[in-house]
Amino acid sequence: MYKLFVGLRYLRSRKITIFAIAGVAVGVMTLIIVMSVMNGFDQELRGRIRGTLSHIIIQKGGMYGLENYKNTIEKIKTAEHIEACAPYVEGPALIKIRGRKEFIYFRGIDPIAEASVSDFKSYITPFGNKPEDLLKTHGETKTASAFAGTEILRMGPGDPEIDTGSFIQNGEQIVLVTLKEWDKISVKAFIVTGKFKSGMYDVDKNYVYIPLSSAQELVGSKEKDAVTGISVKLDDYSYANYVREKLQEILGFEYYVQTWEDSRRTFLTAVTMERRVMAFILFFIIIVAGFNILAILTMIVLEKSKDIGILKALGATTQGILSIFIFNGLLIGAIGSCIGVIIGLSVVLRINWLENMMYNITGWRPFPPEVYYFNQIPTVINPINITLIVIIAVLSSIVFSIYPALRAARLNPVETLRYE
């Protein structure tokens, strides 16, 4: 019992202990805020990738890709967890729009089927469009429709839902130029019938949706009834790897079956690595706080050497003296961690309110929507992450208290009391 009493007495005797507790609290708070925001960005990003690509993509090599794709879809539907399928034709093209020429990708789709496997419908709804609008034809020439990404149609700054004057409007003609059957130039005109915003800049800047039959004509695969691939939506995306293996068995190895994660493996790995590196760097804040603990406890040992000598003379064991100072480190780490968790969670839960307040005061946003494509900062509170942060903070505090504890335990009571 005396160990607890003496330990608390030593801590209260040094007001500088508050700075050690504050150091641990700041480290824990910062890690919780940054990890929650990065987890939120990661979850949001993965959701948008799934919404764009669906859960599984099936392709096949050759000039025309998947021929007689309807038969392939029937085979796919025999597997478990299949909710919907949608064929697509995709390829690079040169787009001519208002005299401007750019390299983009066209994606030929059945809009009704595409809406069942991806978030396509939610991309176009804010602009007053419906999936079936893509099937409309225009004029005597029956010119097909096209939905273009907002960044392709951008002519100036602004939000596509508000500043419509900064974007090319519906009714204008675009021309796509691509290769047909590998060695022929194919040119086809389309009328912009709508725009879409996926929340993925690369998609909004580089993609144009056109009807599936028009895309087949553009690349010369209509006679073969061929498509580039088939998008598959599952009833639960967590089964993606399992279903991929089953589909590979059903279709054979001449087909290339990949999950949404496989198709963006490099990018997702980079995001995960960035999150881990950020966490590793921020842990140095806790290490700095640990050195503060080491310095403060060492100062206490030097100042209280006479008291330690008296305790030893009265029968305190070496283990008892060790326990006093290790307990001090534990207490600093525990109190600092509790304060850090409370403040960190409070900031995370109110982070969008704080950002709006900062914007109202300074006119600056740390995560501008036009850059990050998020209307609000996404956050995910992960209890496991918080537990690990607290454990590491407390263990670091204990580790940094070992040296001063050993120094105190090794004091010779005769030597410390001789000159007092």
- pLDDT at position 7, please? 53
**Residue 238 CB neighbour total at 10 angstroms:** 9
Q: Output the tens digit of pLDDT for each of the chain's 420 residues.
A: 555 555 555 555 556 678 888 888 988 999 999 899 989 988 888 888 888 889 999 998 776 788 889 999 999 999 999 999 999 999 999 999 888 899 999 999 999 999 999 999 999 999 999 999 999 999 888 999 999 999 899 887 777 766 667 788 899 999 999 988 777 899 999 999 999 998 888 899 999 999 999 999 999 887 778 899 999 999 999 999 999 999 999 998 889 999 999 988 888 888 888 888 888 888 888 888 888 778 777 777 666 666 666 666 666 676 777 777 788 788 888 999 999 999 999 999 999 888 888 888 887 777 766 666 677 888 999 999 999 999 988 998 888 888 887 777 676 665 555 545
Whole-angstrom Cα distance, residue 40 to residue 348? 11
Given a contact cutoff of 8 angstroms between Cβ atoms, the answer to whether 268 and 262 are in contact is no
**pLDDT for the residue numbered 8:** 56
Lookup: tokens for 183: 């060695």
Place of tokens 């609000």: 376
Across all residues in the chain, what is the average pLDDT? 85
The predicted model scores a pTM of: 0.78
| C-beta of residue 260 within 8 angstroms of C-beta of residue 56 | yes
